[in-house]
Amino acid sequence: MSHAGGGYGYLQVTAGSGFTNFIGKVLHSVDASVWVDLVVFTDTLTDFNTAQRIATATVTTQVRRYRAFEGDVTGTGSITVFGGFARG
């Protein structure tokens, strides 16, 4: 079910090494087939002990039924990440 009240995106990076960049995204979809960005977090660079929260004021679009998390990295290494979304 879609939700028109926006929400909150969360990202927490608790450990990592080797990567020079990491950008997390929460995606959403109407049909679980075509995905679009809902929340794009700030690049954590090499700070492997960080947390971010994107508030409802920033996410005012209609939140679609299906959601997923995607992480884009630069380089090679390892990373421990929590990403989530709560409807407003």
| 1 inside domain | no
Query: Tokens 């002990």 identify what position?
Result: 49
| 36 inside domain | yes
From CA 63, how far away is CA 9, in angstroms rounded?
11
- Higher-confidence position of 78 and 6: 78
| 21 inside domain | yes
| 81 inside domain | yes
- Number of compact structural domains in the chain: 1
What does the chain come to in residues?
A: 88
**Angle CA(49)–CA(16)–CA(81) in degrees, nearest 5?**
70
Helix (H, G, I), strand (E, B) or coil at 77: coil
* pLDDT for position 9: 92
From CA 49, how far away is CA 53, in angstroms rounded?
14
| 80 inside domain | yes
Q: What is the CA radius of gyration of the chain?
A: 13
Residue 1 has pLDDT above 70, yes or no: no
- pLDDT single digits (tens) 13-68: 998 888 888 999 999 999 999 999 999 999 887 677 889 998 755 556 788 889 99
| 60 inside domain | yes
Helix (H, G, I), strand (E, B) or coil at 63: strand
| 2 inside domain | no
* pLDDT for position 59: 57
* pLDDT for position 5: 72
pTM (2 d.p.): 0.83
Tell me the residue range of the domain where 73 lies.
7-87
Both tokens of residue 62? 């209609």
| 67 inside domain | yes
